[in-house]
């Protein structure tokens, strides 16, 4: 699958937040000689190692999650980072996609949160959704592993009977 224009997919080292997260929390570690003791957070890289206490960090990609949740209900445009009208439309589509899960968790108050006024607020709300739904086993998975990297993504159906896990396993076997 190819993501549409407006949903950026770059390698982690090409993202501007890479330097900031390295400076603030010491992650990601990038090689065998990258040493740091007493990091403030533990990186979660396994679906089975879901934290129940302590301080942890997990990678998210809000734009990719937005597209995975909304790709069938919204045909575009996806320029929410640059266009306020697109952001408002996508916010409504996103609410329609995730409200049933939030209502199950009794988080109805989320629908009363004001529309995000910029793309950073939008991304922050998507990141919160990913973490909240993952911790409550509500349709979000941690895809990947410590060797390939891992991030929270909506566990949505792909074409046919393939899942994101299936596609990831195929990708890992090929490389």
Range of the domain at 125: 60-174
Is it the case that residue 23 has pLDDT exceeding 80? no
Residue 92's pLDDT is 92
- The confidence band for 35, taking pLDDT boundaries of 50, 70 and 90, is confident
Gap between the Cα atoms of 132 and 138, Å rounded: 8
**Does residue 64 have a cis bond before it (omega within 30 degrees)?**
no
- The confidence band for 149, taking pLDDT boundaries of 50, 70 and 90, is confident
Q: Which two tokens stand for residue 12?
A: 């982690």
Convert the pLDDT of each residue in 72-114 to its tens digit: 999 889 998 999 999 999 999 998 888 887 778 776 667 677 8
Selection from 71, 103, 72, 102 nearest residue 6 by Cα: 71
The total number of structural domains that make up the chain? 1
Residue 79 resides in a domain: yes
Gap between the Cα atoms of 76 and 102, Å rounded: 25
* Choice among 3-12, 34-43, 98-107, 160-169 with the minimum mean pLDDT: 3-12
Residue 25 resides in a domain: no
Is it the case that residue 70 has pLDDT exceeding 90? yes
Residue 6 resides in a domain: no
Provide the mean pLDDT of the chain: 84
Q: Cβ(50)–Cβ(134) under 8 Å?
A: yes
Which residue's entry shows tokens 């949160």? Answer: 113
Convert the pLDDT of each residue in 119-129 to its tens digit: 999 999 999 99
Taking the CB of residue 133, how many other CB atoms lie within 10 A of it?
A: 23
Residue 159's pLDDT is 75
Convert the pLDDT of each residue in 42-64 to its tens digit: 889 888 888 989 999 999 999 99
Residue 155 resides in a domain: yes
Residue 1 resides in a domain: no
Residue 108 resides in a domain: yes
Residue 90 resides in a domain: yes
Residue 169's pLDDT is 81
Q: What are phi and psi of 151, to 5 degrees?
A: -150, 155
Output 85 or 26, whichever has higher pLDDT. Answer: 85
Residue 54 resides in a domain: no
Which residue's entry shows tokens 């916010």? Answer: 91
Is it the case that residue 118 has pLDDT exceeding 90? yes
């Amino acid at each position: 699958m190819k993501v549409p224009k407006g949903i950026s997919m770059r390698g982690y080292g090409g993202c501007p937040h890479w330097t900031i997260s390295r400076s603030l929390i010491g992650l990601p570690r990038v090689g065998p000689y990258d040493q740091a003791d007493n990091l403030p957070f533990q990186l979660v890289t396994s679906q089975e190692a879901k934290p129940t206490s302590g301080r942890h960090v997990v990678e998210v990609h809000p734009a990719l999650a937005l597209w995975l949740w909304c790709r069938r209900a919204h045909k575009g445009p996806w320029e929410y980072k640059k266009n306020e009208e697109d952001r408002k439309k996508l916010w409504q589509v996103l609410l329609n996609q995730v409200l049933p899960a939030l209502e199950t968790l009794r988080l109805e108050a989320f629908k009363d949160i004001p529309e995000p006024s910029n793309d950073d607020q939008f991304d922050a709300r998507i990141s919160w959704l990913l973490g909240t739904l993952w911790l409550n086993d509500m349709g979000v998975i941690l895809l990947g592993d410590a060797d390939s990297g891992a991030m929270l993504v909506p566990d949505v159906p792909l074409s046919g009977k393939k899942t994101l896990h299936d596609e990831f396993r195929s990708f890992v076997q090929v490389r």
